[in-house]
Structure 1
Amino acid sequence: MSFEITERDLAGRAGVLLTRRGEVETPCLMPVINPVKNLIPARELKDNFGFKMIITNSYLILKHFGHEAPDVHQLVGYDGAIMTDSGAYQLLIYGGVETDPHEIVKFQERIGSDIGVILDTPTGGFASRTDAEKTVEETIRRARLSLEWREDPTMLWAGPIQGGRYLDLIRRSARTMGRLDFQTHPLGSPVQIMEGYDYSTLVDMIVAAKLSLPPDRPLHLFGAGHPMMLALAVALGCDLFDSAAYALFAKDDRYLTVRGTFRLDRLTELPCNCPVCSRYSQKDLLEMPKKEREENLARHNLYVTASEMKAIRQALKEGGLWELVEARSRAHPKLYEAYKRLGKYAKYLEENDPVIGKEVKGIFIYDKHSLARPEVMRHRKRVIENYSRPPGKEIGVFIPNPPERPYIKSKEYKYAAEILSGQEFHICFYGEPFGVVPSELSETFPLSQYECSEGIGMNVAKELKKFISANAYRKVFIIDPRSTMVIEGAKTLRSIDEIRGQLDEDSP
């Protein structure tokens, strides 16, 4: 077993990837290192920024140094775990590479890669259906051959998943690759999709892959490294990331933040307190020679990225990943669209989110899209499917959620319980965000550990109707001072005091 999951939140996992160079904590982002000319020394990535694993390109090493290339750790000056790509990205961009699947597998073993990638055939973001099918089948063919060629049992291998925008092809690719003896699985072709800010399609692609892979395999989102979208990808189940964005953006004088990317010449303040931004002003950076400015911007971009990965791991471990995703989603309208798409996969998130063993933490409900979070979905589902009213409680009385929590400690509940002193009354609460809350459950998590904005647009009447139908009360009273809650088979009253009068009228 090369991957151990230690904690979960949503579909995200905190874990440990075991490599021959030691343990790597996940979720993990690997900065991309150019093996020929790198902007930031590789050792600095570990010592100053805390990156425990990096990725470089074995094809570029082969092309520039030939088969006499030294060990990759010696070459780039890094003593931690190193993953090597195979040249597939160059194949996608330039249409061909000067190597073949067998040569690059053997070369990665020879230079001491800790995790190697087979030479797959990337689908890309704009391939036709016919071309996409060809890339999936060719990648599978190469994967089977590559596993036969490997000789080093201590080296991990990555089996890429292809299919592009075609979700059925992603599922087919993931199912087949998942049956082969790979230790990690990169999801190929997201770069072009992310460059177009099509994060909603990316959500679909990730979930399609996750639902088709063995659960003990880490999913690697190839080429994803902008800090504003990492929390969303982790929440969906991505474990590994790699990115050259820190260097590419710095080259173009672009400044990364969790709120998006800014042109350096359009900033008047540096909204960061990293060592670079603490030492220099925006004016200082602009007046630097190009190379020095590029290096400092790259360092800032790395600090921001490393900080965001720490924030994600902390949120995951304390059960606050949803709130972080929700906050980050406001960085860009397309990212917010992707966040809203989580509602489509609410069942997937709820099934992967742990019920026990997770830190109990109050939840925030901001709007109707927050209702897709697992804690809310789980209660609404279980109170209909798994709950039965207590025996003998044949008269259902539904009162609006009081402001005090737990609800049974409120003056509204105490008054209702005093007025309705008979054993036959079953008092429940109704309202946003949980729909119906039976009084005897109101102290359980998260029914009293939440904060909710007013008027988030939940269809409370629908939840009431389902609950009442499922519990077959002899009589039902809904207390609604505005008399707007009308449910078939129930009587709507303005106050709890009217119930006794209604019962007297109904008596023979």
Structure 2
Amino acid sequence: MCFEVKERDLGGRIGALRTRRGVLETPTLMPVVNPVKNTIRPAELKDDFGLELIITNAYIILKHYGREARDVHEITGFDGTIMTDSGAYQLLIYGGIDTTPEEIVRFQERIRSDIGVILDVPTGGFATKQEAEHTVKETIRRAKESISWREDDTMLWAGPVQGGRYLDLLEFCARAMGELDFQIHPLGSPTQIMEEYDYATLVDMIATAKRALPPERPLHLFGAGHPMMLSLAVALGCDLFDSAAYALFAKDGRYMTQSGTMRVDELEELPCSCPICAKRDAEDFAEVTKEEREGLLARHNLYVVVEELRSIRESIREGTLWEHVESRCRTHPKLYCGLKRLLDYREYLELNDPLVNRVVRGLFFYDEVSMSRPEVYRYKERIASRYSRPKGKDILLLVPMPEEKPFTKSKICNSVKEFFRDREDVHVCFYGDPFGVVPSELSETFPLSQFESAIGLGKAWRESAEAFISTKGYKKVFILGQELKGAKMINSLEELKRVLDPLGSA
């Protein structure tokens, strides 16, 4: 096995990808390096940015250096791990390329690529269903054929998943590729969808591919390199990213931040303290040549992406990836649409999210979106399917969740204990958002008292409370301060005591 998962949070994971040149920590970025001309020397990517992996284009090397090209590490001047693309992007953009699937596979072995990609047929973002079906069938056919062309068993191979926005085709392709001998799976054709800021569709594509592919294989998201969307992709399970955006944006004078992009010539201050920005003022970018400005901006942009990935990995370790994703996705309405689409896959997230992280921290709830995080979904599912009321507790008393935590140490809970100290049949549960109904005996269990919320009482708790009442077999149900189907409302504990006194003790 070439990939080992070390840490998890949501669908995201920190992994160790083993290549013949060493072990790479994921999630990570592969900067796209033009083998002929580059804005940042590849050696700098390792020495200054700490990047151990780059991606370059085998087809461009083939066309520029010929079929007898030397080792790709010598061509690029990079002594880390190198992945080579096959020319499929050029096929998508230009409609044809001057090589064959077999030639480009053998050529990647010849130039000593560490990770190769077969020459698939990209679906693109605007294909018809019929066109997409052709790209899927042809990609699978080429993938099967490519296995017999390999000779170097120390090299890793990537089998792209095509189908684009047609999720049934994408799932079919992912399952077929997952049955073949590949170590990595790039998700093909997301670039045009990301250019349209259609993050909801991107979420659908990633989630569909992840659920259909073998979980032990890394997922590579082609063409993704803007820091503001990386955490959303990681939360769904993407492990590898490649992008030339750091250089392309620089060429156009665009300055990346973790929450968006700015025009550098419109800035009065540099909102960054990376090694480029810490030594300069905004006006310094206007006082250098265009080529120098492009180089400075490319380095700044890359520093921002690298910093974001470090923050994401640390969020996974701390179990705070959800908070990280929420903060990033609220920087743009289209990203927020992607976050809301993520909620459609809460069952997938819960399945992959650890029960308890290495570092246990309280949860933050801001609104209804926050309430869909895996911990809440897991609790509600388990309280519905696994919980039984304590023996002898025939009377349910629902009281509102207090501000104090844990709930059992609250003033309202102490009052209930005092009022009913002579009764053994009253079962106290707390109601409210985000968890719905919390039995008092579970209230100190993580995360039922380890959270902060800006939601207030809300309305979502009602569905959980009504289901709890209808399935747990109580003889009498009372609720303090609210009207609820299946329960008698009381306005005070004194009122409840007067109602219960004629019933006698259990």
Q: Which category describes the TM-score, using the shorter chain as reference length? A: over 0.9
Task: String of CA shifts for 1:263-282, please: whole Å, max 9, x gaps.
Answer: 11221111000111111111
Q: CA offset at residue 507 of structure 1? A: 6.8
- In the other structure, the counterpart of 1:130 is 130
Q: Aligned to 2:403, what secondary structure does the other structure show?
A: coil
Q: Aligned to 1:104, what secondary structure does the other structure show?
A: helix
Q: CA offset at residue 506 of structure 1? A: 5.5
User: Does structure 1 retain, via aligned residues, the 8 Å contact 2:17–2:23?
Assistant: yes
- In the other structure, the counterpart of 1:423 is 424
Q: Aligned to 1:331, what secondary structure does the other structure show?
A: coil
- In the other structure, the counterpart of 2:480 is 479
Q: Which letter maps to 1:150?
A: R
- Between the aligned partners of 2:344 and 2:373, the Cα distance in structure 1 is 11
User: Does structure 2 retain, via aligned residues, the 8 Å contact 1:342–1:372?
Assistant: no
Q: Which letter maps to 2:451?
A: Y
Is the deviation greater in 356-365 or in 346-355? Answer: 356-365
- In the other structure, the counterpart of 2:467 is 466
- In the other structure, the counterpart of 1:261 is 261
Q: Aligned to 2:66, what secondary structure does the other structure show?
A: helix
User: Does structure 2 retain, via aligned residues, the 8 Å contact 1:258–1:331?
Assistant: no
User: Does structure 2 retain, via aligned residues, the 8 Å contact 1:368–1:458?
Assistant: no
- In the other structure, the counterpart of 2:118 is 118
User: Does structure 1 retain, via aligned residues, the 8 Å contact 2:330–2:336?
Assistant: yes
User: Does structure 2 retain, via aligned residues, the 8 Å contact 1:366–1:456?
Assistant: no
Q: How does 1:334-483 map to 2 (within 5 A)?
A: 334-356=334-356, 358-421=358-421, 422-455=423-456, 457-480=458-481
- Between the aligned partners of 1:292 and 1:124, the Cα distance in structure 2 is 34
- In the other structure, the counterpart of 1:502 is 499
Q: How does 1:225-240 map to 2 (within 5 A)?
A: 225-240=225-240
- Between the aligned partners of 1:357 and 1:264, the Cα distance in structure 2 is 40
- Structure 1's unaligned 5+ residue stretches are none
1:488 maps onto 2:480 in alignment: no
Q: CA offset at residue 505 of structure 1? A: 5.0
Q: How does 1:34-183 map to 2 (within 5 A)?
A: 34-183=34-183
Q: Aligned to 2:38, what secondary structure does the other structure show?
A: coil
Q: CA offset at residue 184 of structure 1? A: 0.2
Q: Aligned to 2:197, what secondary structure does the other structure show?
A: coil
- In the other structure, the counterpart of 2:273 is 273
- Which stretches of structure 1, 4 residues or longer, exceed 6 Å deviation after superposition? none
Q: Which letter maps to 1:448?
A: S
Q: Which letter maps to 1:420?
A: F
- Between the aligned partners of 1:386 and 1:449, the Cα distance in structure 2 is 22
Task: String of CA shifts for 1:284-336, please: whole Å, max 9, x gaps.
Answer: 10121000000000000010000000000000111000000000002211001
- Between the aligned partners of 1:499 and 1:473, the Cα distance in structure 2 is 16
User: Does structure 2 retain, via aligned residues, the 8 Å contact 1:222–1:241?
Assistant: yes
- In the other structure, the counterpart of 1:198 is 198
Q: CA offset at residue 456 of structure 1? A: 7.4
Q: CA RMSD in A?
A: 1.2
- Structure 2's unaligned 5+ residue stretches are none
Q: CA offset at residue 454 of structure 1? A: 3.0
Q: Aligned to 1:275, what secondary structure does the other structure show?
A: coil
Q: Aligned to 1:478, what secondary structure does the other structure show?
A: strand
Q: CA offset at residue 477 of structure 1? A: 0.9
- In the other structure, the counterpart of 2:307 is 307
Q: CA offset at residue 221 of structure 1? A: 0.3
User: Does structure 2 retain, via aligned residues, the 8 Å contact 1:442–1:448?
Assistant: yes
Q: CA offset at residue 457 of structure 1? A: 4.0
Is the deviation greater in 454-463 or in 89-98? Answer: 454-463
Q: CA offset at residue 121 of structure 1? A: 0.3
Q: Aligned to 2:493, what secondary structure does the other structure show?
A: coil
Q: Which letter maps to 1:314?
A: E
Q: Aligned to 1:63, what secondary structure does the other structure show?
A: helix
Q: Aligned to 1:368, what secondary structure does the other structure show?
A: coil
User: Does structure 2 retain, via aligned residues, the 8 Å contact 1:187–1:219?
Assistant: yes
Q: CA offset at residue 232 of structure 1? A: 0.3
Q: Aligned to 2:112, what secondary structure does the other structure show?
A: coil
User: Does structure 1 retain, via aligned residues, the 8 Å contact 2:115–2:155?
Assistant: yes
Task: String of CA shifts for 1:150-178, please: whole Å, max 9, x gaps.
Answer: 00000000000000110000000000000
- Between the aligned partners of 2:344 and 2:331, the Cα distance in structure 1 is 21
- Between the aligned partners of 2:176 and 2:386, the Cα distance in structure 1 is 37
